[in-house]
Structure 1
């Protein structure tokens, strides 16, 4: 994954990339993350940069570094205030699955008057399209829409989103609640191609509206899940 000084301190970018891999099962709980020399080679940075990144992860409670052993993953769930929005993938990771995310595209879009997006966000909004892979197979196709004001640099060269909810936190967007609606949706030609199913195939469709403390919608998303590959899971705690 490319990193550049234009995106902020290198060690923080590397920390976030490694944390993302931990949260999505690429580095499972109890496993060793790659050694410092391996990470230096992957990211083309100095030893000190890698050590600073690992130090941040250790302070946040995700890893533990032991002399002569290496760096072990000791936690694979998020401390984020928005962790409820990530819970489904955390459940899959806890069951031993590996989740990988692909950013398909992002940018500002113009909303046609009278449409739902126009009513929610006005003339413009910020769109993020992603594909989630489950154990190497395409599983979820997501389209997220957010207020354009939170992404003023969206059209700048090299702009990208690593984690949607981390991005919201970094922009001081405090999500108060999520409202999910589930239905069956037919795969469009594009969604079918991305998920490896025929156009028109019935898919689980989840529509989410996330609101801030003032009740404003700050995220509208549509997800199509290939539940032939994996059921959608919800855990209820007593």
Structure 2
């Protein structure tokens, strides 16, 4: 597991990893997370570091710790002060699914003139490819384009935590988001990764994330195999 003192307090890094696993169904609601000893061994840290990470998640309402009974997941959705809406992955996890993320590639690229990344970031940016699995079946392919200022992150970071937590570590506050949706036929390379037939209809999503000054920090292009699972957005009135 990629935990390093250079990235800030160890217990906060471990908290973020455990929280991400809860939100993606790796640690299901109502079940215990691994023991403190198991977490110590996995992250190669001290007992107090693990306990501080768990303490944070207990205070945030994700975990419940009982003497002699282990530490149980009691909530698997994030809280937002800005919206009652739930992230799509949280909706799936609530329905009993498990979501796993895998980084396929991360690199600095030269943006093609006239392309959307070139318009947003100039001549170069960070390009990250990720594949999401729904219950171990390839489901979503995402390509993220990020400001070149974010080029110093480790590839494994995006396996262990969310993209937005990574941005927060770089002290980038996201203030606004815009999503655009369309239906398209799957490109050849996307079809291969999603293990589907070429030209299968997919939901295409373009996402723009902006900081407090309105500058785009992240632009992402995603392809969803809705034959496997419909894209769902739930809102509380």
The reply to whether residue 210 of structure 1 matches residue 209 of structure 2 is yes
Tell me: CA distance 1:117–1:163, structure 2 relative to 1, closer, same or farther (3 Å).
same
Answer yes or no: is the 8 Å Cα contact 1:30–1:74 preserved in 2.
Answer: yes
Deviation string for 1:143-200 (max 9, x for gaps)? 1112212x1424xx76743310111222232222222111122222321121111222
**Which has the larger displacement, 102-111 or 140-149?**
102-111
Answer yes or no: is the 8 Å Cα contact 1:82–1:175 preserved in 2.
Answer: no
Whose relative contact order is higher, 1 or 2, with alpha carbons under 8 Å and at least 6 apart? 2
Tell me: CA distance 1:217–1:200, structure 2 relative to 1, closer, same or farther (3 Å).
same
CA distance in 2, matches of 1:8, 1:38: 22
> 5+ unaligned residues in a row in structure 1: which ranges?
none
What residue number does 1:91 align with? 91
Question: How far is 1:212 from its partner?
Answer: 2.5
Deviation string for 1:106-157 (max 9, x for gaps)? 23211122222111111111222111111111110001112212x1424xx7
**Which has the larger displacement, 92-101 or 52-61?**
52-61
Tell me: CA distance 1:21–1:105, structure 2 relative to 1, closer, same or farther (3 Å).
same
CA distance in 2, matches of 1:15, 1:80: 18
What residue number does 1:54 align with? 54
- Residues paired across the two proteins, number: 235
**Which has the larger displacement, 72-81 or 50-59?**
72-81
What residue number does 1:21 align with? 21
What residue number does 2:176 align with? 177
- Root-mean-square deviation over aligned CA pairs: 2.3
CA distance in 2, matches of 1:166, 1:209: 16
> Post-superposition, which runs of at least 4 consecutive aligned residues in structure 1 deviate over 4 A?
80-86
